[in-house]
Structure 1
Amino acid sequence: MSKNIYVEGLNEIPVPMKKVEIVERKGIGHPDSVADALAEEVSKALCKMYKKEFGHVLHHNTDETQIAAGQAAPAFGGGHIIDPSYILLVGRATTHVGEGKDLKSLPCKPVALKAAREYLRKTFPNLDVDSEIILDAKLGMGSDDLTGVYKASGHLANDTSFGVGYAPFSITDRLVLQTEEYINGVMKKDLPETGQDVKVMASRVGDDITMTVACAMIDKRIDDADHYKSSIEQLYNKVYDNALKIIGSEKVNFKLDINTGDDYDRGVYYLTCTGMSQEMGDDGSVGRGNRCNGLITPYRPMSMEATSGKNPITHIGKIYNVMSKLIADDVAAKVTNEAEIRVRLLSQIGKPVSEPLNASVQIVLPDAETNPNLPKWKSEAEAIAADWLDNVDKVSDMIIEGKVRTF
């Protein structure tokens, strides 16, 4: 069957060559990212339960997780939680199978709660999961029309929707993503005063990049204002040095600002009990943060679909967003690394996921349409897109096994 793949050269200045670029990442401790992560952990846990019980994944979508912020009183040396934040795992799941005397209930809620608790304990060492949050789950059966699409043979799209991806990452992209991963990764052992709620925003104007980092600090690990200031100074030095390593030989001028909301004269500090702003006034929802490449990129094509929590078998909002990124990465790596690659995949409800209504691959260069390599690039890019579309099962497995990011 036709894949409806359309590859074209686009005469346009790629984003990394344009005057202005803005890139953002909400770190793993941001409430929106926490919601994304929990939705995805629940989906993966349900997938594994279904596969163990039935040999395949049953219908579910857990992409509506909500976080209602609590109230806290952080203080140097250690404050306390006044009201815990409330996390509600929301979505659809196959909660029972069979009929009449053969009806069998499935432990969807216990599986979901266990997966969420395990993730929170593993990821947020300064959060007492038993006393500093309230965790609940509301999972019910889906509508007959969508579960009917799901039960039909093969991978049939459960929605008329689209996914978007681009490659390669610019230096601005890489700075933002790798900075957050550094702060919440290897840096933590050297500076445990930092929390997991980290937000990174970069503005590039020409060759000048200004990166702003907001990092929650842990009150019980900081004795006083002088200790706080010292910790921020250490954080600045570590992040700056790491940024220079990321920049390497790139010809950019780099400026770093950290916790610009602080006002030492007025006694204003970004201090938290848990390292998470959801403890005090910051709510969270699935899909309001990073796209499935880990970034928020207003100068690039993006889908508004939440990727996390959607089922990885038929939900286009997940599969096509992930696949678009995989196709773009491959084209950029194997066909041409001098162009910006943009991929958009459009489905039609009830039709095979492997047969999109429109699969668009754009090769973006100022002279793309007249570039002598364009015919070769188009042929190779079409083959890559077709190969990924022929391997929908592989993409689904990668998602279930956690081999691709969703936020």
Structure 2
Amino acid sequence: MTDTAAVSSEFRTPPRVVLPHLSPAQRAALDALIPCVIDGAPPGTEARADLVARCDARLDALPPHRRAQFGLALDVLGGRIAVSLAIASPRRFGSLDAAQQRRCFGRWLDSPLAPLRSAAHSVRRLILAVHYARPEVAEAIGYAGPLQLRSPQVPWEGPLPGVSRPDEPVARGPVVLPTHIAPPPLPRGVIPAVAMRDDLHRTADVVVIGTGAGGAVTAARLAEAGFEVVVLESGAYRTRADFDEREADLTEKLYAEGGLRTTDDASVALVQGNTVGGSTTVNWMIMLRTPDFVLDQWATESGVYGMTPREMSPVFERVEREVHASAVPEDAHSANNRILLDGARSLGWKVSTAQINATNCVRCGFCGVGCRHDAKQSTLVTFVPRALTAGATLHADTHVDRIEVREYQ
């Protein structure tokens, strides 16, 4: 934002680059690695080939350099050097017997050589992600279908007994769960990338990148203050009608790089939302304030001002009110949480129930793939609609490549 000129934004839709598929050698290595990752891997040449093809297709969600990394990982793991480092046998991985392959892969996973260890874990994550997306596997673990919600399986799922109270985040009493949700019309101000037929150049008072916890709140505050706001979001605009509880499919649609994002060396997985609402659409709703000692450290060591505990307390309180953050009731905890609470209290430790940002949560357990019930008070249902109502424009499926700073006279 500037006093002398509006922010200038230019949107271009680049042509999609279709990368070549994995090479035959890489596919062969992937095929040989599957039984090392999945016990009871799909038997038969056709079933295994299908899983390999699905893995290859899943890589399309990655940027070119990450796709190249996977190809390189398969080249390394399928070659003689990696096998020699693991079991001192100068043979290709595909030529080993099943017992040797499992021993070799297990040693790669714990290898002191970081590149080799990262390559093994990267391929393992890919195979598992794709395997659990297969329809027959999803059905076997309880998925009922896009028009049928999975029934509560354990005591800590579903609405609680009693009468719902406004100061609680959970639903109580009999609740009719929807089986089919019609897609709503696209809200005024939301522009998906497919709607842009030509390059666009426009100005605004403020350009906000991202619609997560930071971007959406910023956009809403500024739009409601009268500024002209443009919001850019790399993910698609999706609603409760899209959140059909198919975990594997939605992970690919709602997470950055299809749920396969990692650090550059592939050693750490980065679970980051890539949809309108950002990670607030797919997180587990725990509302934690920045601890006072961290705020004090920022002030004393980093020179941050305006964010002391005293100054931030009303800010936290305001946001908590706006997203209906309230404590999880005592009778809403799972068995695991109950053990932690009761154990800590019996030891005399200080323990408290967490706050979550929800209204009438039915405890279905699918928080990580979007809330079908709109109970989760993510920015998708709170601050993004507020920004749009105040006149903001949201460009979805719009990736920001660079930011140029220009001086205006």
Q: TM-score, normalised by structure 2?
A: 0.20
With CA pairs under 8 Å and 6+ residues apart, which has the higher RCO, 1 or 2?
Answer: 1
**Which protein has the bigger strand share?**
1
Which has the greater radius of gyration? 2
TM-score (norm 1): 0.20
